Chains A and B, each alone.
Chain A
């Protein structure tokens, strides 16, 4: 059977994955703290029909052999942690990280999740929580009689309470960084989990060496660039098409051979 059929099928499969990734990026264009992904592709095994460097006669060598590739595979779907744009929301519990780092969130199963989406809220006990109600670590409880909340660039949360003209410090928001954020495991809901590939979580205060600073009243929008994704989508679609044309050519060739014997 023709190799070309399977080779092109692998190409179509790769482009399909590519379009899947692009669609997910586009679907999350308005998700705060979302980081776009990119598919990385690699060529597959080569079948060596004639080995380069093999003797071709007395004292002569084959200068370049015959190696026929067998298509493409997806090597990785890599998350790209470039900074997203800042969106001014004026909301005192909206926090954006300018630079590296993640907020720590304690998940219901006791593990710690990491997020760049800083759209925090208050729950009924006054704790600072994510939109899903997961508490921020280290826990910060906002007193009921709070009039105004201020978060400094280095993460210190102070509140102005009724009847007290001097702000009170109630806690510090700490950040976590990883040596290889692309290795983090995405679990949805804007959350990431630590993996062996991401390296160990390093926790520190915002503004310390290597950590970003916090901006209150801002949200980090996704780092998806619509124009770039659309261009990638066009390339992906055309690449898919040309692979299908190769299958069509193989099919036409087989039809031609079938007509050989009438």
Chain B
């Protein structure tokens, strides 16, 4: 039996997953603060967990499988778009806003904030945005947020946005609603907060389009491999017939 069909199948499955990742990127083309996902493939052999496998003299050459090793989130910054809305905030440079949710603390780059009925700064889901001294309660008057994150109402500083950063490379997991979860926060440095602007998603549609073409053609090639193996096996079955 020719087992070569299984490695080809694993490649097809990996491409199918890759398309899911690409679709999610393009679905979030207009999601503020969204960070693009890029999968990293690896070749795996069933014995690779026991020791290093080298391709050359490995007797199980037909057991090399392709799979997605990990999905790496590209934290490159998205374009900053001016909106003129007082409570739209964007971070230029590295750093995250801290949001308090019922499931614990979350981090986000999406600064489309609003107020709740008790005048507290929240996300669009109503989760409170944290300042250095707790939730940010804005009183009556005009709100000015300076580049360091200081929040002033009528010229008096009332709180300071808590902007945190993490050791790089970031080890953050995506949570839904534009948020990330992770541990090891530390105060961010060298950032500046822009009021009246939001950060757009960092998805580049051209690259995603090219990736989609690659997926489709790659998937077709794997199919060709499988068809060829199928045909070869069919020929072998015919040996001896006259």
Contact = CB atoms under 8 A, between A and B. Distances in A.
Contacts of B173: 46, 48, 52, 65, 67
A143 to B, nearest CB: 37
Given A75-B124, A183-B114, A43 B34 contact: yes
B57 interface: no
B177 A259 contact: no
A260 B27 CA distance: 29
A243 interface: yes
Q: Is the interface of A mostly helix, strand, loop or mixed?
A: mixed
Interface stretch (B65-73, B90-98, B99-107, B155-163): B65-73
Interface in B22-55: 22-24, 26-32, 34, 37, 39, 49
B116 interface: yes
A46 B216 contact: no
Contacts of A40: 32, 112, 124
Task: Indicate the member of B22, B29, B49 with the most A CB atoms within 10 Å.
Answer: B29
Interface string B171-183: 1011111100000
Contact of B117 (A69, A180, A236): A180
A152 interface: no
A187 B205 CA distance: 37
A227 interface: no
Interface residues of A, number: 69
Interface residues of B, number: 63
Contacts, number: 202
A199 interface: yes
B19 A253 contact: yes
B165 interface: no
Nearest to B15: A253
A72 B20 CA distance: 13
B28 A69 contact: yes
Contacts of A29: none
A199 to B, nearest CB: 5
A59 B20 CA distance: 32
Interface of A: 2-4, 7-8, 10-11, 14-15, 18, 38-46, 48-50, 52-53, 57, 62-72, 75-76, 78, 80, 82, 179-180, 182-183, 196-200, 202, 209-210, 235-236, 238-239, 242-243, 245-246, 249-250, 252-253, 256-257, 259-260
Q: Which 6 A-B pairs have the closest CB atoms?
A: A11-B27, A69-B24, A180-B115, A7-B23, A4-B23, A64-B70
